[in-house]
Structure formats: C-alpha cells, structure tokens
Chains A and B, each alone.
Chain A
Amino acid sequence: MSTGLPVLQPGLNGWPRSAADFGETLRAHGMELQAATVDTLQVNVGKLCNQACKHCHVDASPSRTEIMTRETAAAVIDAVRRWRIPIVDITGGAPELNASFRHLVQEARAAGARVIVRHNLTVMLEAGQEGLPEFFRDHAVEIASSLPYFLEERTDAQRGHGVFQKSLIALRRLNSVGYGKTGSGLTLDLVYNPVGAFLPPAQASIEADFKRELMNRYGLVFNHLYTITNMPIKRFLDYLHRSGNEERYMRKLVEAFNPATVDGLMCRNLVSVDWTGRLYDCDFNQMLELGVDPELPQTISDFDPKKFVRRRIMTRSHCFGCTAGAGSSCGGAVSVSSF
C-alpha cells in the first residue's frame, strides 16, 4: 500500500530508516552544512550513568564501563588552554561519576572558559557526590538539567521510577545555593524532551508552563527551559522499532524539515570529543561513531580549531531530528519562525 512517500530505506549500523536523504534535502533548498566557527568543545566523559533513561541517545546506564581516563582529560584541558576555547560543555552519562570531573571543571574555569554541565539532577544524591551544589556554585558552572515534565508520572515513565522526586530534591538544593534565582548570576536551565514519539511544543509556551507549575506546586525556580527533539538513534530508536512508530516518526521529522533552523544548528559552532579523545561534529554523531571529516585531525591531541572552521559537517538521516519544526540543539529550539 502506498503511503505517498518513497519506500523507506533500511537503516544501517543503528541509523534510522528514512524516506529522504538529509544531504539531498539540504541541496534541494540550496543549502549546505558547513561549520561557522568553534566556540564550544563538548566533552563526553563517558557512558556511565546512575540512570538508564528510555530515550537516551548514549545508551548510558550504571553498567557501562566506557569512561574518559585522566590522561585523556588532561589532553582535553591542554586543548582548552592552548586554543582558548570559550565554552566547555561537559556531558555523559552522568559526567559527575567520572573521577576526573571536578578537575576538568576547575582547569577549564582556570583557563577562562565558560563551563556548562549536563547534570541529570539525581546523581547529586549518589554516594561520593557530597557538596556538588556548592562545587558548581564556587566555579560558576552553568547547569543544564533534563526534566521531561513537571508531573511525576511522565518524568518517571521516561527516566525511571523515583527520578522525579529525587529531581525535586536536587533542584531544591540548587535553588538553595542560588541557582536559578534572579541576581545570583548562577544559571540553572532545564531541558524538556517529549515523552514519546512526537515533537516538542513551542519552547516559550512550555517554558511558561514549567515556570508556573514548578513554582506553584514545589516552590522551585530556574532560568530557561530548552526543548530538545528525541533523536532517532540508539535507545530511542529501539523504542520506535518496538512500538511500531519508526516510520511515522521519521516521516514526521522529514515533513517538518525547516530550512530556517540550519544556520543555528549546534554542529556549526562546536566540536564534540568522546571518552577516548576522538572528535565528532556532535554528540549524536559520536554515538553513531561517525567521526569528523576524514581529512581533518581525528583526536583532541591533534585538534586545531583553525582547521575545523568552515569544515564540512558529516550528516545522516538522524540529522532531520535537529531540523524539524523549530529545530533542536543542546541549547534548545534554534528558530522561532513558523513552520
């Protein structure tokens, strides 16, 4: 039976099936995807996490053993110092579980970089994480934390039983040291992603809901809410397969392609480094082991930002996840234009 779209091509090596080619779609709009600059080094320090969220594009969990060594962390710090990289964005897994985490933050700050930590909130309650809010505060770390919804049922459905209540405790502790409070200068941003196979709502609209509900229900504050589209790879792709939603979700992403998002895509301004020191155009490509252009240096030890400016970005069908609707990035929606 015809669906009106080309027959879907089977995905390879964990890539989603897609009715369209991302590169061809760009060309059809007279566009190409090229880096603009490198202002951010996104450092994935490993796949170890205290949670195992159903949508995780990293397949992170407590049983993962891939984790950045002190030597690789030192190479990252050397690159940040040498090239005066303005922003260091630390992610995982739960990056706090890496033994080098606090050292990495301290050295990046000492080098003058802004430091963003993708903090899952609940890790704060794990053994060995005592004093984490104060550490964040003392180093003016900018915090970006996933909270898929302001209701327990939906958050726990995605992130695991009990996660919502633990997240509230962590948010309360962050608020208590000043995070999210007006005038404190301490940034606490939340990240929304849909609990299922649908696109996120308009960022400003759902941010207003979160601010009102988290204040009214729990007395909590934060700075901004960013919306992120679930990327059709790894654990979320497995869910799409199992639930029979893959074809429909991919069609939705392709049909919602918005050329106005392309200029603001995060890959145009960052380089991603994995736990072994290998370089990628983004954290999603990293999980698919799709490295940077083979003609460029491949590891953090050989990194030179001059060579990465205006580089060709490596793309596959999952990239439709970042260009659908208002777009998606680690900093949320990338376009406010209608689609």
Chain B
Amino acid sequence: MAYYEEDDLQRFSEIAKHRPDLFEKFMSWYQACQEEGALSRREKALIGLAVAHALQCPYCIDAFSQSCLEAGSNMEQMTEAIHMASAIRGGAALIHGLQAHHSVEKVSM
C-alpha cells in the first residue's frame, strides 16, 4: 500500500466513521469558507492552491488545481499563487538564519 492513494480523496467522508459529529462540523465550516463572500470564489481557490503547496498536501493540490480551473484561473495565475506560497515558505526558512547568527554569536569570542 502506498502512503497516498488517489482514490482516498473521494473517500474523505469515511473519516466520519468515528465521531461523525466532529466531521459534520468540519465540513460545514470548510464549505462555508469557500462560498463567495468579501473574496471571490476564484480568489479563495487560489489561496487554497497556495496553502496546499505550502502544506505539500497532494489531495489538496489535486482538489484546488481543479477548483482554480473551474473558477476561471489560468496556469499563469495559478503559478503565481504557487510562487507566492513558495517564496513565503522560503522566506520563513531564511529569516531563521538570524537564529543561527544569534546562536553562533552567543558562543563566539
């Protein structure tokens, strides 16, 4: 068995086998978040795609890639969203370089 199975995305609701009340609450919240609001469906789908890449979740990447297409985004826009996530993730790693500086300074003469 591979750790990630493509069909598992369609089986998500099986999580509700235990504590269905919690899954129901999650789904209600999850779906409400994606409705058109102050942000458009398209903007929300691009945020979802960016976060999916930052989390490196294959299920979310698959789902939000399709959501982006169905919300009218093209590959240029989707790629910019992915770069945003990656750049922020890269920056978040890089800023920790100062922690290393501090540690080195602390033990250096």
Hey, which bits of chain A sit against chain B, CB under 8 A? Answer: 1-5, 149, 151, 154, 194, 196, 198-202, 205-206, 209, 251, 338
B70, A4: Cβ atoms closer than 8 Å: no
User: Of the candidates A2, A154, A205, which one forms a contact with B72 in the assembled complex, judged by CB atoms under 8 Å apart?
Assistant: A205
Tell yes or no: B11 within 8 A of A by CB: yes
What are the residues of chain B within 8 A of A196 when measuring CB–CB?
A: 69
A252 to chain B, nearest CB (A): 8
Q: In the assembly, what is the distance between CA of A196 and CA of B74, in Å?
A: 12
A201, B7: Cβ atoms closer than 8 Å: no
Give the interface SS of chain B, mostly helix, strand, loop or mixed: helix
What are the residues of chain B within 8 A of A209 when measuring CB–CB?
A: 72
User: Of the candidates A2, A202, A251, which one forms a contact with B41 in the assembled complex, judged by CB atoms under 8 Å apart?
Assistant: A202
What are the residues of chain B within 8 A of A201 when measuring CB–CB?
A: 42, 69-72
Give the interface SS of chain A, mostly helix, strand, loop or mixed: loop
Residues 1 to 60 of chain B near chain A (Cβ within 8 Å): 5, 7, 10-11, 13-14, 35-36, 40-42
Tell me the nearest residue of chain A to B11, going by C-beta.
A4
What are the residues of chain A within 8 A of B13 when measuring CB–CB?
A: 4
B70, A199: Cβ atoms closer than 8 Å: yes
Measured as residues with beta carbon below 8 angstroms from the partner, the interface class of chain B is: 10 to 19
Other A-B contacts than A4-B13, A149-B74, A338-B36, 6 sampled, CB-CB below 8 A, are A1-B5, A1-B7, A4-B10, A194-B70, A199-B70, A205-B41
Tell yes or no: B66 within 8 A of A by CB: yes
Q: In the assembly, what is the distance between CA of A200 and CA of B40, in Å?
A: 16
A256 to chain B, nearest CB (A): 10
What are the residues of chain B within 8 A of A5 when measuring CB–CB?
A: 10
What are the residues of chain A within 8 A of B74 when measuring CB–CB?
A: 149, 151, 154
Tell me the nearest residue of chain B to A209, going by C-beta.
B72
Q: In the assembly, what is the distance between CA of A338 and CA of B35, in Å?
A: 9
What are the residues of chain A within 8 A of B41 when measuring CB–CB?
A: 202, 205
What are the residues of chain A within 8 A of B69 when measuring CB–CB?
A: 194, 196, 198, 201
A-B contact pairs, 12 of them (CB 8 A): A2-B11, A4-B11, A151-B74, A194-B69, A194-B70, A196-B69, A198-B69, A198-B70, A202-B72, A205-B41, A206-B72, A251-B10
Q: In the assembly, what is the distance between CA of A149 and CA of B71, in Å?
A: 14
> 4 tightest CB-CB pairs across the interface, nearest first?
A201-B72, A206-B72, A198-B69, A199-B70
Tell me the nearest residue of chain A to B40, going by C-beta.
A205
Q: In the assembly, what is the distance between CA of A165 and CA of B69, in Å?
A: 23
Q: In the assembly, what is the distance between CA of A1 and CA of B6, in Å?
A: 11
User: Of the candidates B10, B14, B35, B42, which one forms a contact with A205 in the assembled complex, judged by CB atoms under 8 Å apart?
Assistant: B42
Q: In the assembly, what is the distance between CA of A149 and CA of B74, in Å?
A: 9
B95 to chain A, nearest CB (A): 36
